[in-house]
């Protein structure tokens, strides 16, 4: 017997928008900090240019990984907190006591 897939609908669109914009803001702040770090390394590095390139290359994988991770987590958070099963309206059988 195949598992039934549960249909989800948007329950709280304001919360979904808040989650989306919060994750986008975190990504933009992180990217701005990384760009600032790279600019600082290239303008204030007194030793070789190779060290500045090395340091910025060393910092790039966590930044890129977090960028992809936040987009994945954003979808999960929206499904978990802002979506839910459709509400049943008018089709409920009430028990008689």
Cα 91 to Cα 3, 7, 88, distances in angstroms: 24, 17, 6
Query: To which residue do tokens 């709280």 refer?
Result: 12
Domain residue ranges of the chain, discontinuous segments joined by +: 27-83
Contact between 10 and 83 (Cβ < 8 Å): yes
pLDDT band (50, 70, 90) for residue 97: very low
Q: Measured in whole angstroms, how far is the alpha carbon of residue 91 from the centre of its chain?
A: 37
- Measured distance CA(86)–CA(11) in Å, rounded: 8
pLDDT of residue 17: 94
pLDDT in tens, 1-58: 455 667 888 888 999 999 999 999 999 999 999 999 888 888 887 777 888 888 888 8
pLDDT in tens, 49-96: 888 888 888 889 999 898 899 889 999 999 998 888 887 765 555 554
């Amino acid at each position: 017997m195949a598992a039934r897939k549960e249909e989800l609908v948007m329950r709280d669109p304001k919360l979904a928008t808040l989650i989306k914009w919060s994750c986008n803001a975190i990504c933009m702040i992180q990217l701005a900090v990384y760009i600032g770090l790279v600019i600082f390394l290239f303008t204030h590095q007194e030793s070789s240019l190779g060290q500045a390139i090395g340091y910025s290359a060393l910092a790039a994988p966590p930044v890129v990984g977090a960028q992809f991770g936040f987009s994945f987590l954003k979808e999960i958070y929206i499904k978990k907190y802002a979506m839910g099963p459709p509400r049943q309206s008018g089709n409920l059988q009430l028990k008689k006591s």
